Structure 1
Amino acid sequence: MQAVVLAAGKGTRLRPLTEDKPKGLVEIDGEPILTHCFEQLVDLGATELIVVVGYLKEQIIDHYGDAYEGVPITYCHQREQKGLAHALLTVEEHVDDDFMLILGDNIFQANLEDVVRRQQEDRADAAFLVEDVPWEEASRYGVCETNKFGEVTDVVEKPADPPSNLVMTGFYTFSPAIFHACQLVQPSNRGEYEISEAIDLLIQSGRTIDAIGLEGWRIDVGYPEDRDEAERRLQEGEDTDEDATLEYASD
């Protein structure tokens, strides 16, 4: 399965960390955010990394070149940052079949493999991780409404008055049907073409959509304090692994 990584944004909320580098190259626990994304996609079996770049794109291209751990990289340029659906359309000509999508400013320690498996088993046109967040944070994300069976019936991007606190995270799998949906998306009140609206169009047209509950954790690195929290959690995970190794070795 090919993997698309969206990494074109300016990261204005991350300043001063992004004053002289793109958000994807901000380091967390000694590695750029994009490296963490690439590692997970390669572990999931990605056959190609298609990276959407924009702001200071030359730094990303120079850093990674044409391959990562033997997996080829294709770069697509989003000339104007007009939203995630707009960014996704820049890769359409390079995608052959179902594909993974990760937002290049998210750090995951979670069940990403469940999303890939469910999408393939159900032949779904979209599958994605969802999680409950504090109500006061829900307006930062694409918010999901569900019916009594727990099925997602509607998705609203960054609503001022969220209908729930169940939100989409930054990892998805899609069939090529998502591209037609993206072409139908109209600019939101923010003037952007939202991926949540494209997914909502798939839902309203009766397409199969899978929402999988997050197991583990993820952090959307939008602010400097998010970067610090992600680093803390990754380092705690390393400490736990080291402790387990030492305990096992002493038995």
Structure 2
Amino acid sequence: MKAVVLAAGEGTRLRPLTEDKPKGMVEIDGKPILTHCFEQLVELGASELLVVVGYQKEVIISHYGDEFEGVPITYAHQREQAGLAHALLTVEEHIDDDFMLILGDNIFDANLADVINRQREDRADAAFLVEEVPMEEANRYGVCDTNDYGEVTDVVEKPENPPTNLVLTGFYTFTPAIFHACHLVQPSARGEYEISEAVDLLLRSGRTIDAIRMDGWRIDVGYPEDRDEAERRLQEQRGEASADADAESDSEAETADATGNE
């Protein structure tokens, strides 16, 4: 399954961190956000990385070249920052089967594989990783509603009065049907071609979209404080992993000593 990474954003809210680089190249825990994304996608079995670039695209292209850990990279240029549906259309010619989509400014430690498995098992037209957030924060995201079967019934982008607190996290799987919907999208009040509008068109045409509740955490790196929080969590996670490894090593050593004393 191919993986699309949307990384064309300028990251104005992350300044001064983005004064000399695009948002995806901001470092968290010693490596760019995009590297974290790429590592997870490769682990998930991505056969190709389709990276949509825009602002200071040369920085990304020169850093990664044409492959990452043996997985080929193809770049597509979004010449105008006109929304996620617009960005997705830049890779249409490269996709003819189900694919993953990740926003290149998110850091995940979550059950991404569950989304892929649901897509494959149910043959849904799309599957989204979703999470519950405080109601007062829901208007920062794409908000969705679901039925009793866990299927998405409605999606609205950054609503003034959110109908629920269940939001899209930035990791999706789609069939190529999404491209037809993206072509039909009209500019929103923000002047952008919204992915949520394309999803709404899929829903209205009778397509099935499954919502997978997130198990874990993710950080949408929009502001410098988000970058700091993501770094804190990753370092904390690494510390816990190191402690677990030390404990396991000590346990094995104690077992070996006990066996030798018998």
* Band of TM-score, shorter chain: over 0.9
| 1:35-61 C-alpha deviation (Å, 9 max, x unpaired) | 000000000000100000000000000
Q: CA offset at residue 148 of structure 1? A: 4.7
What does residue 102 of structure 2 align with? Answer: 102
Whichever residue aligns with residue 177 of structure 2, its letter is A
Structure 2: distance between partners of 1:216 and 1:199: 25
Please give the residue correspondences for 1:117-136 in structure 2 after superposition, counting only pairs within 5 Å. 117-136=117-136
What does residue 193 of structure 1 align with? Answer: 193
What does residue 52 of structure 1 align with? Answer: 52
If you compute each CA radius of gyration, which structure gives the higher value, 1 or 2?
2
So what's the TM-score if we normalise by structure 2? 0.94
SS of equivalent residue, structure 1 residue 88: helix
Alignment gaps of 5+ in structure 2: 252-262
Identity of matched residues, %: 78
Q: CA offset at residue 149 of structure 1? A: 4.6
Whichever residue aligns with residue 173 of structure 1, its letter is T
Please give the residue correspondences for 1:1-251 in structure 2 after superposition, counting only pairs within 5 Å. 1-251=1-251
Cα 1:39–1:167 shift into 2, 3 Å:
same
So what's the TM-score if we normalise by structure 1? 0.98
Where in structure 1 do 4 or more consecutive aligned residues deviate above 6 Å? Answer: none
Structure 2: distance between partners of 1:94 and 1:153: 29
Whichever residue aligns with residue 47 of structure 1, its letter is S
| 1:186-213 C-alpha deviation (Å, 9 max, x unpaired) | 1111000011111111111111111000
How many residue pairs get aligned? The number is 251
Structure 1: distance between partners of 2:65 and 2:142: 33
* Aligned-residue RMSD, C-alpha: 0.8
Structure 2: distance between partners of 1:155 and 1:186: 16
Q: CA offset at residue 71 of structure 1? A: 0.4
User: Which has the larger displacement, 32-41 or 141-150?
Assistant: 141-150
Structure 2: distance between partners of 1:105 and 1:211: 21
